[in-house]
Amino acid sequence: MEIQILGPLEARENGRCIAPSAAKPRQILALLALHAGKVVPVPTLFEELWGENPPRSARTTLQTYVMQLRRLIASALDGSPRDAKDLLHTRFGGYRLDLPSECVDACAFERIAEAGVRAFDAGDMQAATRLLRTSLEMWQGQALVDVSIGLVLSMDVTRLEEARLVALELRIEADLRLGRHQALLSELAMLTARHPMNENLCAKYMVALYRSGRQWRALEAYARLRDTLVEELGVDPSVRMRRLQQLILSSDATLDPRDNGFAEELRYAPGASHAATLQVDSSPA
């Protein structure tokens, strides 16, 4: 079985779609897939489906939904020695989808992204950008975009979206270290528009612009960030962002990609936005 979470929900067995059309069975399948190989307790499923007020018939209704999922699985297993219950188990007060994690795109994304982080930490920027780019290409849109999201799935989706942003920021950082600042400009322009209060992305955009000979546009990017933060939160950019602005204004040599001086001053913090730690790399290309 193969299940896609990173975008619309899709589930296939033997090439046949087994994703249910009804809302609550889709929630169950998504939750079980995100925790493939692990038992999801019945109370957790109740919380996802009905929040804090499950109906009196919740257990019976849940069993009905699981039966519907098993029927869909069984229809795709026609002629196979496996049984639907071999894939969707009842275990220890809950249910378990018995799948290797590599069969779920979200699990594969996290595994490859973690490998990219390790490569980055080891100083292998070529491997880091390749692995992180591969992990990000698995996304087909917002996670579970066509699934009704309850309390439990909302936490999983938030975690995945944060992991996606971390992987994206780190991949951009690796590309900057490889001297690809000009190639990053259009992507960073789009990203800073989409995340107007993310200081990490804005800092990377400013450095990419500066290194591409567009000092005035780098200062414009800072001004947009400052105006957005003041208007939305009533705060100014962080001290480190103000420091970056001053370095750009003075054409400081530490912003040169051949200089290491600025790298230690602005450290990278995955997923950071306003008032978080930054890194703008100045290591050699």
Percent of the chain beyond pLDDT 90? 76
For the entire predicted model, the pTM comes to: 0.84
Structure confidence at residue 22 (pLDDT): 94
Which of the residue ranges 45-54, 137-146, 266-275 would you say has the lowest mean pLDDT? 266-275
Averaged confidence pLDDT in the chain: 88
Report the distance separating Cα 30 and Cα 36, nearest Å.
10
Q: How far apart are CA 239 and CA 104, in angstroms?
A: 42
| Residues near 249 by beta carbon (within 8 Å), at least 6 away in sequence | 219
Spell out the residues 6+ positions from residue 247 whose beta carbon is closer than 8 angstroms to its own: 254, 255, 262
Q: How does pLDDT run across 210-242, given as a tens digit for each residue?
A: 999 999 999 999 999 999 999 999 999 999 999
Q: Is residue 263 predicted with pLDDT exceeding 80?
A: no
The confidence score (pLDDT) of residue 267 equals: 41
- Would you say residue 278 has pLDDT above 70? no
Q: For residue 138, which phi and psi values (nearest 5 degrees)?
A: -75, -20
Q: What per-residue confidence (pLDDT) applies to 255? A: 86
Task: For residue 120, give both structure tokens.
Answer: 């980055």
pLDDT (tens digit, 9 = 90+) per residue, 80-109?
Answer: 646 788 789 898 899 999 988 889 999 999
* Bridge partner list, 97: 88
* Cβ neighbours for 179, distance < 8 A, ≥ 6 positions apart: 257, 285
Domains and CATH numbers, the chain: 1-178 (1.10.10.10), 180-285 (1.25.40.10)
Q: In the structure, what pLDDT confidence band is assigned to residue 75 with cuts at 50, 70 and 90?
A: confident
Look at residue 269 and tell me whether its pLDDT is greater than 90: no
Q: pLDDT at position 219, please?
A: 97
- Our measurement of the distance from residue 221's CA atom to the centroid of its chain's CA atoms, rounded to an integer in Å, reads 24
- The two tokens of residue 281 are 């790399």
Average pLDDT score over residue span 157-163: 95
Q: CA torsion 63→64→69→74, rounded to 10°?
A: 100
Least confident of 139-143, 147-151, 182-186, 273-277: 273-277
